[in-house]
């Protein structure tokens, strides 16, 4: 009887392994949003890791998360490493390539809860309404990744975080675009007022006309 149980378990394990092995060896998650703001705003808020705390939902997973920044302040070579609780895990991100106002390539390396690497690509495309920002992540599925994908929908799970990130970036950058226009309008009005005041000071004072004198004749 015991032999049959072990044999059935062995068959089940082999069958499960075969099903897992048949799963896709790669994954890709992608989301987009349209932002009514100059492209330098949504580009800059991603190209600089120091600004991620303004919009990244992953940083909220652990308020006490330890973070370090290495390499250049922003752009290619910039590195952001983190170490947090079980929800946040541990890993690092490196900007591999950054084309101003076009695209940003980021390598994402997880160390905990399980090792893994993936590539994040953020692109910016002009559209009539402003800028279409697209966030995509792709990588390889090892055996563990394939097994997890049988029970967890990676597109739904990561896609939700992407959507939240993009929505926050949209809110922040559109507000900053509005603030920028208001600042420019105030500066323009101030400059015009100062120019008008200087012009008034430089204008010659008008000489008032005196009363007309009556003509006299010599006797």
pLDDT digits (tens, 9 = 90+) for 18-34: 444 444 556 789 999 99
H/E run at residue 104: strand 103-112
CA angle 75, 116, 125 (to 5 degrees): 40
Using 70 as the pLDDT threshold, list the residues of the chain that sit under it.
1-26, 140-154, 205-219
104 alpha carbon, distance to own chain's centre: 10
CB atoms inside a 10 Å sphere around CB 216: 6
pLDDT at position 152 is 59
184 alpha carbon, distance to own chain's centre: 25
Domains of the chain: 21-179 (3.30.530.20)
pLDDT at position 19 is 46
Report the chain's mean pLDDT, rounded to a whole number: 83
d(CA 155, CA 138): 11
d(CA 27, CA 141): 7
Three-state SS at 130: strand
pLDDT at position 12 is 47
Three-state SS at 105: strand
State the pTM of this model. 0.76
Contact 135, 166 (CB under 8 A): yes
């Amino acid at each position: 009887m015991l032999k049959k149980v072990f044999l059935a378990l062995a068959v089940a394990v082999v069958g499960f392994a075969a099903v897992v092995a048949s799963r896709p060896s790669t994954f890709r998650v992608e989301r987009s949003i349209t932002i009514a703001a100059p492209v330098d705003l949504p580009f800059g808020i991603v190209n600089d890791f120091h600004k991620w705390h303004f919009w990244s939902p992953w940083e909220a997973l652990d308020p006490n998360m330890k973070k370090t920044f290495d390499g250049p302040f922003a752009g290619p070579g910039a590195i952001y490493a983190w170490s947090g609780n079980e929800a946040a895990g541990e890993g690092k991100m490196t900007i591999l390539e950054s084309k101003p106002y076009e695209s940003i390539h980021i390598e994402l390396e997880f160390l905990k809860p399980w090792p893994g690497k993936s590539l994040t690509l953020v692109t910016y495309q002009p559209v009539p309404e402003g800028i279409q920002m697209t966030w995509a992540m792709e990588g390889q599925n090892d055996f563990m990744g394939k097994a997890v994908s049988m029970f967890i929908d990676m597109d739904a799970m990561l896609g939700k975080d992407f959507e939240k990130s993009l929505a926050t970036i949209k809110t922040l950058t559109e507000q900053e675009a509005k603030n920028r226009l208001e600042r420019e309008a105030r500066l323009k009005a101030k400059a015009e007022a100062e120019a008008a005041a200087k012009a008034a000071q430089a204008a010659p004072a008008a000489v008032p006309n005196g009363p007309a004198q009556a003509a006299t004749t010599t006797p």
